[in-house]
């Protein structure tokens, strides 16, 4: 069983408080906060710009819109507390714009639509230091989002994709190479992959990705072998003014 907390880990406390499965007690309890803590703990007072895709349980929340103020967007609540100087944005296909938080801005967009993603990026303006994809978990959606938004990551910034070990059966396209396999093969331009991105988008990723680090989910819902490499931290080339060079 996963420990309730990692030692001296304020981020895990916040994840558990707000019922985010990035922590160690709620729902799948992936324990991803240990990775984010290692990356971001030294930067808690830095004016980072962050975007998170996926604001949790969209279909459930859409059925109970009256609960949005109390239950929605646990990750945004967590980040708002943990990063008091950050500019935080959230994006979801479901309309969570009723969610109010003085530290966070919510956008409605389909992560599988390049035009909608580009429209949000244009409205926000500038570059993001950290983008997190915790959206549909379907491989084609992950790949489209990565291709569209990686250009909007600051030099040396991070693009994180969660739950690479799980693809929802009702959304996953069996003809598309799973994103975990795609990321494993990207550094060597592995042939034979069938992707949801075009050659120009692939070339941009190949030329601009500095490194990809994988981390396991600690959830007890999957065998250890299945939950390996569940989270990918993709670092963009270039030097970032405050982000560490590695986790």
Domain for residue 97, yes or no?
yes
What distance, in Å, lies between the first and last C-alpha atoms of the chain? 24
Render pLDDT for 170-226 as a digit per residue (tens, 0 to 9).
Answer: 999 999 999 999 999 999 888 889 999 999 999 999 999 999 999 987 776 766 667
Mean pLDDT in the chain?
A: 87
Distance CA 108, CA 80 (A): 19
Number of domains in the chain: 1
Taken in order 82, 85, 91, 97, is the CA torsion positive or negative? Answer: positive
More confident residue, 45 or 226: 45
Asked if the structure places residue 86 within a domain, the reply is yes
CATH, residue 181: 3.40.50.150
pLDDT at site 2: 44
pLDDT of residue 162: 93
Helix/strand/coil (H/E/C) assignment for every residue in the chain: CCCCCCCCCHHHHHHHHCCCCCCCCCCCCCCCHHHHHHHHHHHCCCCCEEEEECCCCHHHHHHCHHHHHHHCCHHHHHHHHHCCCCEEEEEECCCCCCCCCCCEEEEECCCCCHHHHHHHHHHHCCCEEEEEECCCCCHHHHHHHHHHHHHHEEEEEEEEECCCCCCCCCCCCCCCCCHHHHHHHHHHCCCCCCCCCCHHHHHHHHHHEEEEEEECCCCCCCCCCCCCCCEEEEEECCCCCCCCCCC
**pLDDT 10s digits, 74-129:** 899 999 999 999 999 999 998 888 887 888 999 999 999 999 999 999 999 999 99
- Residue 244: inside a domain, yes or no? no
- Residue 40 inside a domain? The answer is no
Assigned domain for 27 exists = no
Query: In DSSP terms, which residues pair with 158 in a beta bridge?
Result: 130, 235
Q: Which residues are catalytic?
A: 137
- Asked if the structure places residue 14 within a domain, the reply is no
Full domain range(s) for residue 122: 47-236
Residues making up the chain, counted from first to last: 247
Span 143-159, pLDDT tens digits: 999 999 999 999 999 99
Buried b (16+ CB within 10 A) or exposed e, 171-208: ebeeebbbbbebbbebeeeeeeeebbbeeebbeebeeb
Structural domain includes residue 247:
no
- What per-residue confidence (pLDDT) applies to 112? 96
Position 198 scores a pLDDT of: 96
Beta strands 153-161 and 209-215, pairing class = unpaired
Most confident of 18-32, 39-53, 223-237: 39-53
Cα 168 to Cα 173: distance, rounded to the nearest angstrom: 10
In a domain, 19, yes or no: no
For 8, other C-beta atoms within 10 Å of its C-beta total 9
The closest alpha carbon to 239, from 136, 129, 164, 133, belongs to 129
């Amino acid at each position: 069983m996963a420990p309730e907390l990692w030692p001296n880990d304020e981020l895990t406390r916040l994840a558990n408080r707000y019922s985010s499965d990035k922590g160690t007690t709620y729902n799948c309890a992936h324990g991803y906060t240990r990775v984010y803590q290692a990356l971001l703990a030294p930067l808690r007072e830095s004016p980072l710009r962050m975007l998170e895709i996926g604001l949790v349980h969209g279909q459930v929340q859409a059925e109970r819109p009256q609960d949005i103020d109390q239950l929605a967007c646990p990750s945004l609540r967590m980040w708002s507390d943990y990063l008091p100087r950050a500019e935080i944005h959230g994006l979801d296909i479901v309309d969570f714009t009723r969610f109010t938080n003085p530290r966070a801005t919510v956008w409605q967009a389909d992560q599988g639509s390049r035009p909608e993603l580009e429209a949000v990026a244009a409205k926000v303006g500038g570059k993001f230091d950290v983008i997190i994809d915790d959206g549909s978990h379907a491989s084609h959606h992950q790949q489209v989002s990565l291709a569209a938004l990686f250009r909007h990551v600051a030099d040396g910034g991070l693009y994180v994709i969660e739950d690479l070990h799980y693809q929802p059966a009702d959304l996953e396209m069996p003809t598309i190479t799973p994103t975990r396999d795609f990321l494993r093969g990207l550094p060597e331009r592995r042939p034979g992959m069938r992707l949801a991105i075009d050659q120009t988008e692939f070339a941009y990723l190949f030329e601009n990705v500095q490194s990809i680090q994988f981390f396991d989910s600690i959830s007890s819902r999957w065998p250890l072998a299945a939950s390996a490499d569940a989270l990918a931290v993709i670092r963009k080339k270039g030097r970032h003014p405050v982000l560490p060079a590695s986790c």
